[in-house]
Amino acid sequence: MITGAGNGLGRAHALAFAADGAAVVVNDLGGGRDGSGASGGPAQQVVDEITAAGGRAVANTDDVSTWDGAKSLIDQAIDTFGGLDVVVNNAGILRDRMLTSMSESEWDAVIAVHLKGAFGPTRHAAEYWRNRAKSGAMNDARVINTTSPSGLFGSHGQTNYGAAKAGIAGFTVIAAMELQRYGITVNAVAPTALTRMTDDLAAARELADKVDLAPEGVSPLVLWLASPAARDVTGRVFANIGGTIAVVEGWAYGPEVHSPQRWTIDRLNEEMPALLAKAAPNADMTGHRPVQ
């Protein structure tokens, strides 16, 4: 089951899973890049492409940013194909705006589609898998989320999108901890690809002149994470940029300073400059730390 599968990365993932023999529920609300509108066309077009090639697929246009829509999607997958093995949370929209100009609706819409849109399908799928485990069945299930360099490293004009994607990374780590006992792995991919979400960004187009940023280049990693070979891989975030795959290492303590007494402002004034001087700079949008 793949959300946001009518275009771009989701479409590429759906075609890759179908070509590998999987039965696919192709979910897409069919809206614009900003989330406006709805249409059954994109999802059905991908389904038609899969079935024309001899694969198995059904379309779904539920809104995964809603509780009922996410449950309906999971129920359809189980009812149609007799079970559920893999959830790929990929649905997303963009409403870029500088923080000082961002409206409440621009914030809420992006958080809903990305973050709640990952929570809802995962929550309902996890309940299904937990119930199977409690009945004595063995699960070999996968959740693969979609985060972004914007959420991991930051990007101007994307406080809403970046916050949602950072939230997905945190959600991935914690869900992996909670669900492992039921035979479920949870991982995330931070792709850099040229899609309708990014094709008007000058930086993306410049990078695409140097490396292959086709969405199809990301799908093999997603397919591998869904495979038996990745059965013991969970709680990880992977970046995929052209031919490069990197394990994104999460927050960890850097240099420390200790005090046997409670800190005071005066002592912090003395100690903090030296502490910060020892700290590595934040990574840039490429995921690498600037050379000092």
Burial status of residue 52 (CB atoms within 10 A of its CB: 0-12, 13-18, 19 or more): exposed
Active site residue 134: no
Could you report how far apart the first and last alpha carbons of the chain are, in Å? 44
Active site residue 210: no
Backbone angles phi, psi at 16, to 5 degrees: -70, -45
Beta strand spans in 100-236 (E)? 141-146, 184-192
Which candidate in 71, 116, 165, 219 is catalytic? 165
Structural element, H or E, at residue 49: helix 41-52
Which candidate in 65, 72, 150, 161 is catalytic? 161
Q: Which of 174, 194, 193 is nearest to 184 (CA)?
A: 174
Which candidate in 148, 150, 155, 219 is catalytic? 148
Backbone angles phi, psi at 199, to 5 degrees: -70, -10
Rounded CA separation 57/101 (Å): 42
Active site residue 161: yes
Which residues are catalytically annotated? 148, 161, 165
